[in-house]
C-alpha cells in the first residue's frame, strides 16, 4: 500500500517567497507531506514583541492553532523567545503546528531547523543521537545536524496521523 501524503500549510510573514519554496522542498524531501503554496499571515495586533523585540513563540503557536485546521509551519523574520529562554530558533506544538524564526540562522540552518520543527509537528520528540531532531541551543549545533537518525525514522513510521491530516 503506498504511503499516504499529508498536507502542511506554509504560513509566512515578511519572508522572501524563494526562501519559502526552498524550505518547502527540503521539508517535502524529508517527510511524506504536501506543503501548500505560501500563505501570507499577519501577526495579530494583540501579540506584541517584548522590550528586546522578541515575540513569545507560544503566543504565536496558539494563534496558529486557533486559526488553522491543518498542520502548519509559520516562518517569520523576527526573533523568538519562550519563558526562561533568552531565545529559540523555533517552537512547536506536537501533532499540530510550529513557528520558525529566520533571524539568527543562515539559509542552510533555516532548512534544517524547519525539518526539525516539522518533525515535532509530526510527533517526534528531541533525540539524543546525532540527528536532525537533536535539541540545538546555538546555531553551530544546527550546522552539525544532517538527517533523521534510523530510530527517529522508525518512530515516525509508527505514528498514526488521521486520514484527513487534520489536528
| DSSP per position, 58-91 | HHHHHHHHHH-SBEEEEEESS-EEETTEEEESEE
3, 109, 113, 117: which one is catalytic?
A: 117
Which residue reads 515578511 in cell numbers?
14
**Is 7 annotated in the active site?**
no
**Nearest to residue 58, comparing CAs of 23, 20, 97?**
97
Spatial neighbors of 162 by CB under 8 A, at least 6 apart, are none
Instruction: Give the chain's domains with CATH numbers.
Output: 6-158 (3.40.390.10)
Q: What cell numbers appear for 92 in the block?
A: 512547536
CA geometry: angle 24, 29, 32, nearest 5 deg: 95
Quote the DSSP letter at residue 166: B
Tens-binned pLDDT, residue by residue, of the chain (167 aa): 445 568 999 999 999 999 999 999 999 999 989 999 999 999 999 999 999 999 999 999 999 999 998 899 999 999 999 999 999 999 999 999 999 999 999 999 999 999 999 999 999 999 999 999 999 999 999 989 989 999 999 998 887 554 334 33
- Nearest-angstrom CA–CA distance, 153 and 84: 31
Task: Say if pTM beats, i.e. exceeds, 0.85.
Answer: yes
Amino acid at each position: 500500500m503506498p504511503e499516504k501524503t499529508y498536507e502542511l500549510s506554509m504560513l509566512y510573514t515578511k519572508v522572501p517567497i524563494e526562501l519559502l519554496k526552498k524550505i518547502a522542498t527540503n521539508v517535502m524531501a524529508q517527510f511524506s507531506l504536501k506543503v501548500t503554496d505560501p500563505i501570507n499571515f499577519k501577526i495579530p495586533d494583540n501579540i506584541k514583541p517584548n522590550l528586546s523585540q522578541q515575540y513569545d513563540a507560544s503566543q504565536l503557536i496558539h494563534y496558529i492553532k486557533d486559526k488553522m485546521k491543518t498542520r502548519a509551519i509559520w516562518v517569520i523574520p523576527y526573533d523568538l523567545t519562550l519563558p526562561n529562554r533568552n531565545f529559540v530558533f523555533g517552537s512547536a506544538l506536537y501533532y499540530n503546528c510550529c513557528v520558525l524564526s529566520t533571524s539568527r540562522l543562515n539559509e542552510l540552518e533555516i532548512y534544517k531547523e524547519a525539518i526539525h520543527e516539522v518533525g515535532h509537528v509530526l510527533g517526534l520528540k528531541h533525540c539524543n543521537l546525532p540527528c536532525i531532531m537533536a535539541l540545538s541551543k546555538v546555531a553551530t549545533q544546527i550546522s552539525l545536524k544532517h538527517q533523521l537518525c534510523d530510530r527517529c525514522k522508525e518512530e515516525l513510521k509508527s505514528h498514526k496521523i488521521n486520514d484527513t491530516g487534520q489536528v
